[in-house]
Amino acid sequence: MRAALFVTCVNDAIYPRTGIAVVRLLERLGVTVDFPAAQSCCGQPQYNTGYRREAEPLVRRTAEAFAGYEYVVTPSGSCAAMIRSHYTRIGRAAEAEGRGPGLAALAEGLVPRVYELTEFLVDVLGVTDVGAYFPHTVTYHPSCHGLRTLGLGYRPRRLLAAVRGLELRELPGAEECCGFGGTFAVKNPDVSAAMGTDKTAHAVSTGAEVLCGADNSCLAHLDGILRRQGAPLRALHLAEILAATEEEPVQGFEGLV
């Protein structure tokens, strides 16, 4: 099977480890991974801040970059949600306002082919045990877009539960937003920090070594708070845990425990 990786702009520039983990994981599971170089940002920061027109060229770029692929996999719930819930509407609005002919059909064509990583693993590949090994205690934060917009449900936690050596601890108030919210973190910094601090306090209370999530934007916010506080746990993307094996553990993580 062949799949294209939509790594997303945040992962590309700041969290390449997540993209590398996805490649390793998928290749281990027998998937041939392509990385179309024309890809960029999905346009979520622009769109969510109210700049719909600024998002239009990015919608076009993303839809065109992945035009030939049956499966497009992304390790970001919020970017998958952006494409699934908003691309068609943005395309239609652009056409209605006399810009971007053909954008609606192009965007709409991409929507059913985009999979968040855990959806791809569980629904398309049909695996929950990906053969990973990670001998640590982990608590999982289901980010809002994964939880509510995509409805990932049990998928991430079932994948984690099947990892050898891993002990999953329930996160109190797991379904509450972490307070990142894209530009919300900058536009409403006080409320954002208050929400993030409550979330990290819950994570610390589990006694886990790792706060796992499937969205590096939320994790950047939470890990930033954890590090500022000198808290005894670190945020780690789900893909890195699923990619870890006895031979190739998560790099740079051993020092924590």
* Residues 6 or more apart whose Cβ sits within 8 Å of residue 6: 39, 42, 62, 66, 72, 73, 74, 79, 114
CA distance 218 to 206: 19
What x/- string results for residues 50 through 69 when contact with another protein is judged by CB under 8 A? xxxxxx-xx--x--------
Residue 106, token pair as written in the block:
């192009």
Cα torsion 162, 164, 170, 171 to 10°: value is: -100
- Phi and psi at 137, nearest 5°, equal -90, 135
Closer of 54 and 70 to another protein (Cβ)? 54
Residue 7 interacts with another protein (CB under 8 A): yes or no? yes
The minimum distance between CB 162 and another protein, in angstroms, equals: 25
Q: How far, CA to CA in Å, does 206 sit from each of 166, 171, 175?
A: 14, 7, 15
Interface residue with another protein among 98, 126, 255, 257 (CB under 8 A) is 255
The minimum distance between CB 61 and another protein, in angstroms, equals: 6
Residue 223 interacts with another protein (CB under 8 A): yes or no? yes
What x/- string results for residues 224 through 253 when contact with another protein is judged by CB under 8 A? xx-xx-x---x----------------xxx
Interface residue with another protein among 6, 25, 26, 46 (CB under 8 A) is 46
CA distance 257 to 236: 14
What x/- string results for residues 109 through 128 when contact with another protein is judged by CB under 8 A? --------------------
